[in-house]
Chains A and B, each alone.
Chain A
Amino acid sequence: MAEKVQNAIPLSELAPGSKAKVLTLFAEGMVRRRLLDLGVVPQTIIECIRRSPIGDPTAYRIRGTTIGLRRDDAKQIMVEPLVE
């Protein structure tokens, strides 16, 4: 990622109901490949849907499918929140 993005946050910080664009994946190994398979690649728009009853994991809409991700995994995805 060459360009600097000012308001980059980890996906885990994204509030339910808001959307963001994927910038970088810090995850490595198995988790990285799993996320790539699910379509978490740069430029992908991810919407945070809701948190589970006890706060973790969180449901995200990724390419038309709702996927639950744990905080620890979502932390490794840097995103740029989109303002609507």
Chain B
Amino acid sequence: MAASIERGDIHRLHAIARQVREENTEAVRDVIVEKIYQHSQTIADEVTSRTNQNKVNQDDRLDAILTSRYLGFPIMLVLLGIVFWITIAGANVPSSLLADGFGWLEGKLTAVFMWVGAPAWLHGVLVLGLYRGVSWVISVMLPPMAIFFPLFALLEDAGYLPRVAFNLDRLFRKAGGHGKQSLTMAMGFGCNAAGIISCRIIESPRERMIAILTNNFVPCNGRWPTLILLSSLFMVGAVGMGASVTVAALIVVGMVLFGIAMTLFVSWALSKTLLRGVPSHFTLELPPYRPPQFGRTIVRSVYDKTLFVLKRAIITAAPAGVITWILANIMVGDKSVLTHVADWFAPFAHAIGLDGYILMAFLLGLPANEIVVPILIMGYMASGAMMELDDMGALKALFLDHGWTWLTALNMMLFSLLHYPCGTTIYTIAKETKSTKWTVLSVLMPLAIAIVVCFVVAQTVRYFGWV
């Protein structure tokens, strides 16, 4: 069989096609499609036999609850809350175990460095910088990821996620978007870069662009440890352990809802300005509900997603840890470079309810959001008295030492939620949109929003004297 067709023959094919087009009308496609479906139906009827016809469809019964007028939305919120609650509650113990383990190993490593007589700067760069950065990322990130990704995969596997798109389509459409945008947002909870790739499921270019530009407003896995940590430390009063997890989960859900509101608002604004146009059609299959395959789904999501995202985080955490340690330990005059930069940022940072170190941490944390808090802690520890961070109390004390109030915590959460996407996500946006202009916008727009929101909150709170 010949593998190629000659150029001359291509021209002849085009000539035939032109002739066909002149002689035929659109209707032929309808006739062909109709015939194929008719025939499918005939064959299907001939080879299929049905018993118990009258049985009510189980899926319809479930849909009557999960997409019902009164319960549809509450159930979505409760499921979201449960996913967060399980993640937060479940991650606590393994996180502290991992932290303990890494702390123990750090002691051993330090002993080895002393034993070989390594210079202090080498120990600083490798152990206090690189090792601490990496171990922080692993102990803070790995447990929530290893719980969150499989939980979401289970919801997906069971067939629930398309119902979310079905429930929310009208809302998104009013904002100029598409119901499927909610699915790309769900993916964004795990990782915004993954969320942006998943925007491919939206066929219309306009609505897809809206989904890409707003995906950042759902907190990814690299950011919600920050949200969880800060809400547990500063927003939860002196309540019992079980209750405090619930309150922390509620606050995180509140943050998520604020992010969703921002997504809708920005989608609406974009669809009225830069991305004007009529919302396209919506066809969405609601697949049968299926009992999720626990074992396989969990193994696969750990294997495919968790390890992938973790690897990326470690790769960025290692150099960031080194750089931060160096900046915090090179002295210019009586202060470190880090402190100089933080001081320079301070007036602006104060106006938006943060401090110079926090802004510095967000800047250095550009490669990956999960390293923002570790960088911040490293910055504080290098500038203040060195101390052992053996528990949450010590961490809170460290923050309080640097003048934190609940407003600082709240605004850092807001800034984390709204600011520019991480390096990997920006790269993914550039690849998916193939446009420098849209990529730049995807960075500047959220940054501007984050600054404005934090400024308004800080000024309001201070005006009323709440802190």
Direct contact of A and B (CB under 8 A): yes
**A residues whose Cβ falls under 8 Å from a Cβ of B:** 25, 30-31, 33-39, 41-44, 49-50, 52-57, 59, 63, 65-70, 72-73
Known contacts: A41-B34, A53-B67, A59-B63. The answer to whether A34 contacts B283 by CB under 8 A is yes
With A68-B282, A70-B173, A72-B281 as contacts: A57 and B30 at CB distance below 8 Å: no
Does chain A have a CB within 8 A of B170?
Answer: yes
Closest to B284 in A: A68
Determine the distance from Cα of A65 to Cα of B284 in the docked complex, in whole angstroms. Answer: 10
Q: Which of B63, B70, B73, B283 contacts A67 (CB 8 A)?
A: B283
- For this complex, 19 residue pairs linking A to B, each with C-beta atoms less than 8 Å apart, are A30-B280, A35-B283, A38-B283, A39-B37, A41-B33, A42-B34, A43-B34, A52-B67, A52-B166, A53-B67, A53-B72, A54-B171, A57-B166, A57-B284, A66-B286, A67-B285, A68-B169, A70-B282, A73-B281
Question: Of all chain B residues, which has the CB nearest A36?
Answer: B33
B283 and A69 contact, CB distance less than 8 A: yes
What residue of chain B has the Cβ atom nearest to residue A30's Cβ?
B281
| Interface assignment of B167: CB less than 8 Å from any CB of chain A | yes
**Residues in B whose Cβ lies below 8 Å from that of A36:** 29-30, 33
- Alpha-carbon distance between A13 and B59 when the two chains are bound, in angstroms: 23
Return B50 CB to nearest CB of chain A, in Å: 11
Say whether B60 faces chain A, with CB atoms less than 8 Å apart: yes
Interface on B for A, CB 8 Å cutoff? 29-30, 33-34, 37-38, 41, 59-60, 63-64, 67-70, 72-73, 165-167, 169-171, 173, 179, 280-287
- Contact A34–B281 (Cβ < 8 Å): yes
**Bound Cα distance A56, B60 (Å):** 17
Question: Nearest 5 A-B pairs (CB), nearest first?
Answer: A53-B72, A66-B286, A68-B284, A41-B34, A31-B281
Q: How far is the CB of B35 from chain A (nearest CB, A)?
A: 9
| Distance of A50 Cα from B69 Cα, bound (Å) | 10
Cα A67 to Cα B165 with chains together (Å): 12
With A66-B286, A67-B286: A57-B33 Cβ-Cβ less than 8 Å: no
Distance of A50 from chain B, by nearest CB (Å)? 6
What's the minimum C-beta distance from B60 to chain A, rounded to whole angstroms?
Answer: 6
Contact yes or no, A59 B170, CB < 8 A: no
Secondary structure of the A contact surface, majority rule? mixed
**Contact residues in A for B37 (Cβ distance below 8 Å):** 39, 41, 44, 63
Asked whether, in the complex, the Cβ of A57 is within 8 Å of the Cβ of B282, the reply is yes
Max count, chain B CB within 10 A of own CB: residue among A33, A42, A44, A50: A50
Q: Check B166 against A65 for contact (C-beta < 8 Å).
A: no
Which residue of B69, B73, B285 is within 8 Å of A65 (Cβ)? B285
In the assembled complex, the Cα of A41 lies from the Cα of B73 at a distance in Å of: 34
Q: Return chain A residues, CB-CB under 8 Å to B72.
A: 52-53
Docked Cα-Cα span, A1 to B67, in Å, equals 36
Known: A41-B30, A44-B37, A49-B60. 5 other contacts (CB 8 A): A30-B280, A41-B33, A42-B34, A56-B170, A70-B282
**Which residues does chain A contribute within 8 Å of B284, judged by CB atoms?**
57, 67-68
**CB-based contact B166/A68 at 8 Å:** yes
CA distance A56 to B282 in the complex (A): 11
Contact call A68/B30, Cβ cutoff below 8 A? no
> In the assembly, what is the distance between CA of A31 and CA of B179, in Å?
16
- Chain A nearest CB from B290 CB (Å) reads 14
**Shortest distance between the CB of A2 and any CB in chain B (Å):** 14
Closest B residue to A72 using CB positions: B281
Contact B38 A43 (CB under 8 A): yes
Q: Are B63 and A52 in contact (CB under 8 A)?
A: no
A68 near B63: Cβ-Cβ < 8 Å: no
Q: Nearest CB to that of B48 among chain A residues?
A: A64
Are A66 and B285 in touch, CB under 8 angstroms?
yes
Q: Could you say which residues of chain A place their CB within 8 Å of the CB of B281?
A: 30-31, 34, 70, 72-73
Residues of B within 8 A of A70 (CB): 169, 173, 281-282
B170 contact set on A, CB distance < 8 A: 52, 54-57
The distance in angstroms between the C-alpha atoms of A32 and B152, with both chains bound, is 34
Closest residue of chain B to A39 (Cβ to Cβ) is B37
In the complex, A25 Cα to B41 Cα: how many Å?
A: 20
What's the Cα separation between A56 and B38 when bound, in Å? 30
Residues of chain B lying within 8 A (CB to CB) of residue A49: 60, 63
Question: Which residues of chain B are near A55, meaning CB under 8 Å?
Answer: 170
In angstroms, Cα B96 to Cα A6, docked, is: 72
Measured CA separation A55–B33 after assembly (Å):
31
- Write out the residue numbers on chain B whose beta carbons fall within 8 Å of the beta carbon of A54: 167, 170-171
- The smallest beta-carbon distance between B397 and chain A, in angstroms, is 47
Q: Name the residue on B nearest A51 (C-beta).
A: B69
Cα(A55)–Cα(B171), bound, Å: 11
